[in-house]
Amino acid sequence: MTSRSGAVALTETLIAEGIETLFGIPGVGTLPVYDSFIDHPELRHVETRHEQGAVFMADGWARATGEPGTVFTSGGPGSLNTLTAMASSFNDSVPILHITNENPASVRRKGKGHFHDMADQFGVFRSVTGFGIQVVLADEIPGAIHQAMVALRNRHPRPALVEIAAEAFDQMTDAPVLEPAATIRRRPDRAAIAEAAQRISQARSPVIWAGGGVSTPEAAVALLALVERTGAAVITTQKGKGAIPAEHRLHIGNWANEQPVRDLIDRSDLLVAVGTRFSYFPTGGWSLDIGCPIVQIDSDPAAIGMNYRVSVGVVADAEAGLLALDQALDELSYVAEHRRDEEVAAVLETIDSSVGRPVERQVLEQMRTALPADAMVFNDPTTIAFWARSLWRTDIPRTWSVPSGFGTLGSSMPTAIGAKLARPDVPSVCVIGDAGVMFTIQDLMTAVQEGVPVIVMVFNDRGYGVERRHQDHLYGRRTAVDILPPDFVALAEAFGARGVLVDDLSRVGETLESVLDAAGPTLIEIPNQFGHPGYGSFGSYE
């Protein structure tokens, strides 16, 4: 390998690993790498307006493609600006490669007051990364990036941090670029699969609980085959949306907090959990009582039995586990004697009657009609999104996203931008509130500069609507939840985007449809007074 600088070696390694796009902002310590980008135009750099936005965009790229999103930041404030977004990706199991720099060895961590000095920058990231490595020599750069990519493609998906000492970018190295990190399929334990299949064959009223681990097209196909074979009722979490067609006759959806669904679980004699750890929201803060035996399939051994005791645990990714289970059922010549179609239909009818047709539901139905089936929708923790978590219908994996773990306000706009850059062939829509959008509004400029035709739907209720509902419920009075928003249409136009005001809620869908072919970003402002769907339930079943 010809000797070249560590900066060039880093760029070559990223390209060799199949990375097409990275997000970031240059800093004085990373300028050698930015100079190397000029000679490698095949690697696209997207300049964001805040480092937090860079990670959110990389998160959107990863959610849209299943491949790690890549971020490059300078050290000190640039690096630490990413922490909230890194924590969001960590909690939602999104693979992010974050590369940052550290000060030269002669000054770092000595307390001398050097620019961007910190006592332990690397240590700050320990709680928001699944893998981390520090590099001090240029010779180490190709191997460190490769190690990070191996972890990202084979461990439980979590952000990875590669911290590179500033002097390594200028050092010369002949270290070779390695072959790209391969994905190694983890084969499930045959004995565990056999026991799981035996449990299913003996069950008369099974239910399947599908989470974010079933978010690939391949896993969704395998899940559908198991559902058809067993006749089991299927519950999908927020992150599991699209794992099975919304209208499938056995699909309940994300209604596990509703009493009719809990009653159905009580009548079940087996629950098969795939790609889920039974987190806070879908279990109603773990208030859900699961009395039947549980078979749990998850790629992360630590997730099995974490929140509910299991009878059988299978360590495997969703597709591999489901395919192995199907084969084991073949060997047992299993044919289901009962199906739960009628039960599911009755449960859904009860919920539908109780929820009724409030305006929030009507607006979501307009949006669903306006968007093509493969449109990607990214939600903020805003009031309308709490309705959408159960009411939004999709048939395709990777078309619905919500920061369900960390609940990060403002995340959905840059996330939608990153996803649109990854998949320019399909619409990418952000659903966000007037308070949340101000957390990241600066990156609307990124969408303008990069020509990204993302659609930002700002539901403006002039405040923190979710917190209003909490205050009303808990205290009967309000404080600090009403805020003065800007003129969003004028603000969008000041950025160079298109701004549209929709002051008639019956026209939300037609307005959304009218901007699907826009050449650049569009912000749609929708004034509203939507209510929160409720505490623990959308309806009353007395």
Q: pLDDT digits over 412-468, tens only?
A: 999 999 999 999 999 999 999 999 999 999 999 999 999 999 999 999 999 999 999
Q: How far apart are CA 37 and CA 295, in angstroms?
A: 49
Q: How far apart are CA 159 and CA 98, in angstroms?
A: 7
Task: For residue 493, give the H/E element and its range.
Answer: helix 488-495
If one compares 532 and 230, the residue with the highest pLDDT of the two is 230
Query: pLDDT > 70: what percent of the chain?
Result: 99
pLDDT-derived band at 207, boundaries 50, 70, 90 = very high
Bridge partners for 46 per DSSP: 23
The count of C-alpha atoms lying within 13 angstroms of the C-alpha of 471, restricted to the half-sphere facing its C-beta, is 12
For the record, the structure tokens of 135 come out as 């590099």
Picking from 381, 433, 403, 427, the residue whose alpha carbon sits closest to that of residue 522 is 427
Task: Give the residue-averaged pLDDT of 289-306.
Answer: 95
Task: Give the residue-averaged pLDDT of 394-416.
Answer: 94
Contact in structure between 403 and 88 (CB atoms under 8 Å): yes
Task: For residue 342, give the H/E element and its range.
Answer: helix 341-355
Whole-number mean pLDDT of the chain? 95
CA angle 436, 127, 68 (to 5 degrees): 70
For the record, the structure tokens of 146 come out as 């490769």
Q: What is the pLDDT of residue 111?
A: 75
Q: What is the pLDDT of residue 191?
A: 97
Q: pLDDT digits over 346-381, tens only?
A: 999 999 999 999 999 999 999 999 999 999 999 999
Q: What is the pLDDT of residue 112?
A: 74
Least confident stretch, 241-255, 263-277, 483-497, 523-537: 523-537
Q: What is the pLDDT of residue 34?
A: 98
Q: What is the pLDDT of residue 536?
A: 67
β-strand pairing of 294-298 with 251-253: unpaired
Residues whose CB falls within 8 Å of the CB of residue 306, separated by 6 or more in sequence, listed in order? 277, 278
Residue with token string 């917190």 = 467
Q: pTM score, two decimals?
A: 0.96
Burial 275-300 (b: 16+ CB within 10 A, else e): bbbbbebbbeeeebebebbbbbbbbb
Q: Is the pLDDT of residue 537 over 80?
A: no
Picking from 523, 402, 385, 365, the residue whose alpha carbon sits closest to that of residue 466 is 385
Neighbouring C-beta atoms of residue 517, cutoff 10 Å? 8
Q: pLDDT digits over 104-159, tens only?
A: 877 777 677 777 788 899 999 999 999 999 999 999 999 999 999 999 999 999 99
β-strand pairing of 270-274 with 294-298: parallel
Phi, psi (5° rounding) for residue 26? Answer: -70, 150
Picking from 218, 398, 228, 241, the residue whose alpha carbon sits closest to that of residue 319 is 218
pLDDT-derived band at 539, boundaries 50, 70, 90 = confident
pLDDT-derived band at 392, boundaries 50, 70, 90 = very high
Q: Is the pLDDT of residue 2 over 90?
A: no
Residue 357 class from Cβ within 10 Å (0-12 exposed, 13-18 middle, 19+ buried)? exposed
pLDDT-derived band at 99, boundaries 50, 70, 90 = very high
Q: How far apart are CA 88 and CA 83, in angstroms?
A: 9
Q: How far apart are CA 29 and CA 167, in angstroms?
A: 9
Three-class DSSP category at 84:
helix
Q: What is the pLDDT of residue 542?
A: 64
CA angle 251, 350, 278 (to 5 degrees): 45
DSSP 8-state class, residue 439: G
Contact in structure between 66 and 401 (CB atoms under 8 Å): no
Q: What is the pLDDT of residue 318?
A: 94
Q: pLDDT digits over 34-83, tens only?
A: 999 999 999 999 999 999 999 999 999 999 999 999 999 999 999 999 99
Q: What domains sit in the chain, N to C, each tagged with a CATH number?
A: 4-173 (3.40.50.970), 190-349 (3.40.50.1220), 357-527 (3.40.50.970)
State the chain's maximal CA–CA distance in angstroms.
76
Q: What is the pLDDT of residue 330?
A: 95
Task: Give the residue-averaged pLDDT of 495-504.
Answer: 98
Picking from 435, 527, 526, 533, the residue whose alpha carbon sits closest to that of residue 481 is 435
Task: For residue 236, give the H/E element and its range.
Answer: strand 233-236
Query: pLDDT > 90: what percent of the chain?
Result: 90
Q: What is the pLDDT of residue 118?
A: 81
